[in-house]
Amino acid sequence: MHNEIADFIKQEVTVLPVNHLTYSTGPRGSHRLRLAAANFLTDEFKPRRSLGIDNILITPGLASAIDALAWTFCDEGDAILIPQPLYNGFIVDALNRSNVQVIGVSYTGVEGYTTLDDLFDPEVNRKAIARALDRAKINGIKVKALIISNPHNPLGRCYPPETLKVFARACGKNDLHFISDEIYAKSTFPNPAIPDAVPFLSTLSLDFSGILDSTRHHILYGASKDFCANGLRLGLVCTRNEGVMGALSSISIFSWSPHLIQDVWAAMLENKPWLAAFTAEKAERMVVNHRITTSFLREHDIRYFDTNAGLFIWVDLRHMITSPKDPQHQIMLDSSDIESTLEKTCKQREVQIADICMKHGVLVAPGHVYVAEEYGWFRLTFTVGKDALQEGLNRFLEALKEAEAFTPQA
């Protein structure tokens, strides 16, 4: 879809000297984009309360947004909870400037957890978060926030409303900020393999009254995924907390997106006929590519976790790795830094498989970088051109054949 975005920019975007070549409305974001974003979120995310430009702050991508929120909410050494597996960028975003640690919410050993599907269950999540908070307290760590990705990265599913309320309730009970990263909101698609899959539902649309103060609820969104425009470096924070908005504004001068680039995204959000056609075409292409990829994987007996959101598939190569089931061998960010010999071997094996794939010209991400609790999972992106996809799948298969020669025998 890059060509469609490029054509739109060429045809629809005009340089406005007063708006684009001056300081204009300042580092919080252009008036035009904040208004367009508020209207877009109102139309697509169905908030229970009205949104305006004062609820929106523009950032150069969500890495910058999470960095700024970590700086705002946390002191050095404080922590943010994130359910595992988790998008690996969160760790860098929280740690690099503010020295905030990420505590992965582990599910191993939690009653009711047996498969990846259970990671979206409300009761399983209630127990897992409570346990993570208890462990942090025992270790003298102050937890200040919970971040979720909805739709989930890397699992490619959406949380049901009951589970989203579990997250909100846990945050309200423990005085945490609830941050919902919804950057894949418009990258969902029908998957016949899971006809009853949970559709995307923004946390903005849910009633958290009585369980979470609205000033502790924050939404992240951006242009990188749904608009196929990583290079524009545009994201936003949506919050009703004036203090948080003030804190973010105080440092926004250090991460100021050019207003010309901001208005590129604004033009897309304002043009509703184009936006509807673009979103529909993207969803159709995702369905086709997902079908091609999953058919290929099934044909070659490669297992995977069924998805209906996101740009990737969570591929199961556990059979190629000595994958420990015992909880002591699981990766947990709040566990000891001392790795067992078996754990090191498994991690090295994941790296070896990824390196062999890279040698064949295919980039796949090993599960340990997403803090997966079991070795042998890999994230495979399927949203590329058809020819590139087919070539990539063929190379992936050749890489796995080579890697099989090094697979530990039972």
DSSP, residue by residue, 195-262? TTPPPP--GGGS--TTTS-GGGEEEEEESTTTTT-GGG--EEEEES-HHHHHHHHHHGGGGPPPHHHH
Task: Enter the DSSP assignment of 329.
Answer: G
Helix (H) or strand (E) holding 285: helix 272-299
- Give the C-alpha distances (Å, rounded to integers) separating 204 from 176, 181, 379: 17, 11, 28
> Is residue 345 very low, low, confident or very high in pLDDT (cuts 50, 70, 90)?
confident
- Give the C-alpha distances (Å, rounded to integers) separating 328 from 61, 126, 313, 356, 368: 36, 22, 27, 28, 15
Q: How many CB atoms lie within 10 A of CB 166?
A: 22
Closest listed residue to residue 85, CA positions, set 396, 401, 399, 314: 314
Alpha helices in 51-160 (DSSP H): 62-73, 89-95, 122-138
State pLDDT tens for residues 83-92. Answer: 999 999 999 9
> Is residue 330 very low, low, confident or very high in pLDDT (cuts 50, 70, 90)?
very low
How far, in Å, CA of 68 to CA of 252, rounded?
A: 8
How far, in Å, CA of 377 to CA of 379, rounded?
A: 7
Average of per-residue pLDDT across 144-151: 98
How far, in Å, CA of 126 to CA of 164, rounded?
A: 10
> Is residue 347 very low, low, confident or very high in pLDDT (cuts 50, 70, 90)?
very high
Give percent of the chain above pLDDT 70. 95
Domains and CATH numbers, the chain: 2-271 (3.40.640.10), 276-402 (3.90.1150.10)
State pLDDT tens for residues 12-59. Answer: 888 888 788 887 788 899 999 999 999 999 999 999 999 999 999 999
Please tell me the predicted confidence (pLDDT) of residue 410. Answer: 52
Q: Is 303 helix (H, G, I), strand (E, B) or coil?
A: strand
Alpha-carbon dihedral 116, 118, 122, 126, rounded to 10 degrees? -80
Average of per-residue pLDDT across 261-266: 93
Average of per-residue pLDDT across 344-368: 95
Closest listed residue to residue 215, CA positions, set 240, 249, 181: 240
How buried is 381 (Cβ within 10 angstroms: 0-12 exposed, 13-18 middle, 19+ buried)?
A: middle
Please tell me the predicted confidence (pLDDT) of residue 332. Answer: 40
* pTM for the full predicted model: 0.93
At residue 58, φ and ψ (nearest 5 deg) are -90, 135
